[in-house]
Amino acid sequence: MDDGISQADLQKAVAAGARIRRVVVVETLDGRYAAFLRFAGRSGFMRLTLRRYEGVKFWKDLHPLRTALARCRFSGCLWLCPQDHPLLAQLGISLGSSSA
């Protein structure tokens, strides 16, 4: 998995023609949500960050996350997985040390 993409860089990438193909949302043990994006024509997932070079951005509610993704022209389904689900490792998704 690549380091990540900030919300601002995501909006710029979409404006330049990038297309979000899939979104996996990880629900942490404390009930927060983190989004991991896969782009068309690119392998692997990128974590969505608040600012470039920071850790995962967490949401307390899915509605603001959906709103942020809609602003980036994503209207597809969110795959929601609990933090410890084995599918995440198969997809190369990890919250890493930023989940604290």
pLDDT, residue 41, reads: 87
Do the domain assignments include residue 18? yes
Do the domain assignments include residue 50? yes
Write the Ramachandran bin of 96: left for phi over 0, alpha for psi from -120 to 50, otherwise beta: left
**Over the stretch 20-54, which tens digit does the pLDDT of each residue have?**
999 999 999 999 999 999 999 888 899 998 776 67
Q: Name the token pair of 67.
A: 């709103």
pLDDT, residue 49, reads: 87
Do the domain assignments include residue 39? yes
Average pLDDT, whole number, for the chain?
88
pLDDT, residue 99, reads: 37
pLDDT, residue 97, reads: 45
Do the domain assignments include residue 93? no
Range of the domain at 33: 2-84
Do the domain assignments include residue 95? no
Q: Name the token pair of 97.
A: 């040390």
Do the domain assignments include residue 65? yes
pLDDT, residue 4, reads: 85
Domain count for the chain: 1
**Residue 95 or 35, more confident:** 35
Kindly give the pairing relationship between strand 46-49 and strand 2-6. parallel
Do the domain assignments include residue 97? no
For the cut 70, the answer to whether the pLDDT of residue 100 exceeds it is no
Do the domain assignments include residue 60? yes
pLDDT, residue 98, reads: 43
**Residue 30 or 4, more confident:** 30
For the cut 50, the answer to whether the pLDDT of residue 78 exceeds it is yes
